Structure 1
Amino acid sequence: MSATQLGLLTGLALGFAAAFGGFGAFLVVLVLGALGLLAGRVLDGKLDLSQLTGRDRG
């Protein structure tokens, strides 16, 4: 399992744990899932955020 998949699953699990029921819970799960996906993509090296932070890697 890649870090992207693990990050997405972690974000979704946290979303389910944080809120149950209704449209508001759906939005919370959606946002946390997206954040988990982004974190996983960064850990996999498929998303480079160095330009946003002003730091170069090398």
Structure 2
Amino acid sequence: MSMAVIGMVAGMALGFAGYFGGFAAFLLVAALGAIGFVVGRFVDGDLEPGDLFRSGTRGGDRRR
């Protein structure tokens, strides 16, 4: 499935949640979608657990 189709389905799901369930349902669907996206990246091997908690600087390259 292409990324455009996945984006369209996600947008439709958020639209339905917002229309039928209100703003709280919209936020819940968006949050669960983001969690599902991160879990999917872990399963595919594109993301490692340390990637979420590592800072952008390395070792002694910190600038203050």
Q: TM-score, normalised by structure 1?
A: 0.51
| More RCO (CA 8 Å, sep 6+) | 1
Query: Which ranges in structure 2 are unaligned for 5 or more consecutive residues?
Result: 54-64
Q: How many residues align?
A: 38
User: Structure 1 stretches (4+) deviating beyond 2 angstroms?
Assistant: none
Residue 39 (str. 1) matches residue 42 (str. 2): no
2:26 paired residue number: 26
The C-alpha deviation readout for 1:8-42, integer Å capped at 9, x for no partner, is x7xx7xxx6xxx51000000000000000000000
Q: TM-score, normalised by structure 2?
A: 0.47
Equivalent position amino acid for 2:26 in 1 = F
Q: Tell me the percent identity.
A: 47
